[in-house]
Amino acid sequence: MDDIVKQALAKWPNVPHCYGWLGLDARGNWYMRDDRTQALGPFPTEKGSMLRHEKLIDFIQRNYDHDGEGQWFFQNGPQRVYVELAAAPFVWRIADDKGFAVTAHTGQPADSITACLLDEQGRLYLATPLGFGLVHTQDVGLAAEAVEQGLWTPEAVLAGDLPQRFGHVLSPAARRLAALAK
């Protein structure tokens, strides 16, 4: 986490959390979701505006983390902005080399693969010590090579079971609304 973010947290520790305003799609793109977009429907059905400013994206990715309940967020100074996830907390890119190095959409390398999973829609996921994520669609061919070489063995799974199994929340906003309705 950036030092400036840590300083803001210390200075303003009680800023309310923000829900529904930021989304991460299945290709590792960030989306800003204003009130109008949120009123049209949930993420990823209604995505919003894709962020394109590289420095803003880098700032989000450096300050991207999760809480103890598996909700992923961007720590924006003193405010925690919870992220709506299209598929998983990370989107993996695979290097086109013999080692099939895996890197998250945030730029962080994954040291090892602890599980390889294939859902009912043919989407491939990897679990790593860094976290759980979806393989980017452009890298599925490289992943197939790793599978063919016996480096990864896909396990059949249902996509709906993955959040509970890997401890992440796809929609903190929906979870918050459900808790408020009780």
| Strands of 132-135's sheet in order across | 109-110, 102-104, 90-94, 132-135, 124-127, 115-118, 154-156
pLDDT at 37: 97
Task: Give the burial class of 10: count Cβ atoms within 10 A of its Cβ; 0-12 exposed, 13-18 middle, 19 or more buried.
Answer: exposed
**pLDDT at residue 6, as a whole number:** 78
Quick one: pLDDT at residue 78?
86
Sign of CA dihedral 33, 49, 107, 5: negative
**Which pLDDT score, from 0 to 100, does residue 9 have?**
67
pLDDT, residue 12, reads 67
Query: 3-state secondary structure string, the chain?
Result: CCHHHHHHHHHCCCCCCEEEEEEECCCCCEEECCHHHHHHCCCCCCCCEECCCHHHHHHHHHCEEECCCCCEEEEECCEEEEEEECCCCEEEEECCCCCCCEEECCCCEECCCCEEEECCCCCEEEECCCCEEEECHHHHHHHHHHHHCCCCCEEECCHHHHHHHHCCCCCHHHHHHHHHHC
Enumerate domains of the chain plus CATH numbers.
Answer: 3-87+167-181 (3.10.540), 90-159 (no CATH)
Which pTM does this prediction carry? 0.91
Q: What is the pLDDT of residue 135?
A: 98
Please report the pLDDT score of residue 64 as a whole number.
Answer: 97
> What residues in the chain have per-residue pLDDT under 70?
9, 12
* Residue 2 pLDDT: 79
pLDDT for res 26: 97
